[in-house]
Amino acid sequence: MSESSTPIGTVIWQDLTVENAQAISNFYSEVVGWEAAPHNMGEYHDYDMQRTDGKTVAGLCHARGENGNIPPMWLIYITVEDVKGSAEKCVEMGGEVIDGPRKMGENLFCIIRDPAGAVAALISG
């Protein structure tokens, strides 16, 4: 998802976490024309949502395990220099940390809610 050369403040990814990812992947396949490519998660599959040229443009995930408390909304991932520091600043500024900070692959990330109620993920840049 992220490379060290990605500028801080860049939206680098988007995904959706829901109870039934397979059904919702079918919805987006029919409505917007994305192809759903299964992504092995061990005991189940999440989905890489791909354009017709095969480029993956989004993820569609099951709300299970560590992702069980992620709200069912399209979530953007924004690169930050210091995920833990940004999470602390979020709380100081009247926001809330919904999940994390925790590891996701090679990256540290967290999900925040701003004072207006909007949700975004912060990820190491």
Residue 109, class by beta-carbon neighbours within 10 Å (0-12 exposed, 13-18 middle, 19+ buried)? buried
Same domain as 26, residue 3: no
Task: Read off the tokens for 51.
Answer: 């354009």
Q: How many domains is the chain built from? A: 2
Same domain as 24, residue 9: no
Same domain as 26, residue 7: no
Q: Which domain holds residue 77?
A: 1-13+71-125
Residues 56-101 pLDDT 10s: 999 999 999 889 989 999 999 999 999 999 999 999 999 999 999 9
Residues 1-10 pLDDT 10s: 444 579 999 9
pLDDT value of residue 36: 97
Same domain as 78, residue 56: no
